Amino acid sequence: MRRRAMLQLGAGAFAAVGAASAVTAWETTRPADAAVPDDAELARALGDFRSDTALVNGFRMHYVTGGSGDPVVLVPGWPTTWWSYRKIMPALAQRYRVVAVDIRGMGGSDKPSGGFDKKTMAGDIHELIRTLGFDRVHLVGHDIGSMVAFSFAANHPDATRSLSLLDVLHPDDSFYRIPMLQPPGSGVSVWWYAFNQVQSLPEKLLAGRARELIDWHLGIGLVDQATITDFDRAVVADRYNRPGAVRCANAWYQGFHQDIIDMRAYPELTAPTLGLCSPIAYPAFQQTLPKLATDLRDIIEVDKARHWLCDEDPDLVIRSLTTHFAATTR
């Protein structure tokens, strides 16, 4: 099932490049002292997109939508927002109704006190799509968003037209065996899994300093630092510097304990499933995903990326997703 990135450019590639150029032009023509734009302005910069909110499960959830056709829901992860999908949204919107969300506690969404287990967060997405009038959706998740997307497919199979998991799998008992200290030269320690478990202290340490964390994380997570610009980083840092944002980001990780319990009871996934992952994550996807999904269509290795697949190889992501969606539309 292993497939690597191909060099040829499809139609989606030119759409992605055009969208990226338009956003770059928009960024460079803004006054240097301009405030970080709000979500409505960011959405308009991508073309025919609109920022909105809906009341779901007792909180106000932010989402950006555009295009027409079968619905595709994009679920982002830590430490970013819906803006992480900016390079692929215009191309997808040529064929699909795209809905990029801010999950519970993220970006323009409310910052509730609880409900950060992935089953509850998947329920948020389910209620949102019902509010928007959709019965079934193509679901795409990256990082924490991939965990939410997996839980959605497990708990709402009738609403899942297809599932695409980007670089991260759902928490399971193996998370309790992640080493706190690794030998020198053996790779990056995922210290933030433990850091985000700590109550209160991360908020105090990161208050007004989210950019420091974002730059560090991108520093180890990108092959090419230029693929996420200073402007992009400023947008995301602005969202994580808002009251309650770091607390909620911590809570996504603190929810892992309940997620692991829930995972033990989940049935095999029946939705047509695609895995997209970096070379680092590929072995885990290859070993684990065939055991979890009865209709696993492909596992594609994105050679050009280290974690931020949509930033470092948007053309491959667009091509892979649209091929998967087309094969699973029924």
Q: pLDDT for 19-33, tens place per residue?
A: 555 566 656 666 666
- Nearest Cα to 144, choosing from 206, 200, 99, 80? 80
Stretch 308-313: mean pLDDT: 97
What pLDDT does residue 186 have?
82
The pLDDT of residue 261 is above 80:
yes
Stretch 185-205: mean pLDDT: 91
The pLDDT of residue 51 is above 50:
yes
The pLDDT of residue 273 is above 70:
yes
The pLDDT of residue 98 is above 90:
yes
Alpha-carbon separation of residue 252 from 83, 111, 113, 116, 194 (angstroms): 19, 12, 12, 5, 12
How far is it, in rounded angstroms, from Cα 34 to Cα 325? 39
What pLDDT does residue 180 have?
85
Architecture of domain 2-328: 3-Layer(aba) Sandwich (3.40)
DSSP 8-state secondary structure symbol assigned to residue 35: P
How far is it, in rounded angstroms, from Cα 200 to Cα 75? 26
Q: How confident is the model at residue 252 (pLDDT cuts 50, 70, 90)?
A: very high
What pLDDT does residue 187 have?
78
- Degrees (nearest 5) of the Cα angle 148, 150, 156? 95
How far is it, in rounded angstroms, from Cα 165 to Cα 150? 7
The pLDDT of residue 16 is above 80:
no
- Average pLDDT across the chain, whole number: 91
Q: pLDDT for 99-111, tens place per residue?
A: 999 999 999 999 9
The pLDDT of residue 232 is above 80:
yes
Q: How confident is the model at residue 6 (pLDDT cuts 50, 70, 90)?
A: very low
What pLDDT does residue 209 have?
96
How far is it, in rounded angstroms, from Cα 111 to Cα 221? 26
Stretch 127-138: mean pLDDT: 98
How far is it, in rounded angstroms, from Cα 155 to Cα 159? 9
Q: What share of the chain in percent tops pLDDT 90? A: 85
The pLDDT of residue 276 is above 60:
yes
For the chain, domain boundaries = 2-328
What pLDDT does residue 8 have?
32
Q: How confident is the model at residue 125 (pLDDT cuts 50, 70, 90)?
A: very high
What pLDDT does residue 1 have?
41
Stretch 62-66: mean pLDDT: 98
The pLDDT of residue 206 is above 80:
yes
- 60-64, 178-182, 189-193, 232-236: segment of lowest average pLDDT: 178-182
* Type of residue found at 5: A
Stretch 287-294: mean pLDDT: 97
Structure-model confidence comparison of residues 32 and 144, the more confident one: 144
The pLDDT of residue 136 is above 80:
yes
How far out from the chain centre does Cα 167 lie?
A: 9
What pLDDT does residue 308 have?
97
Stretch 83-88: mean pLDDT: 98
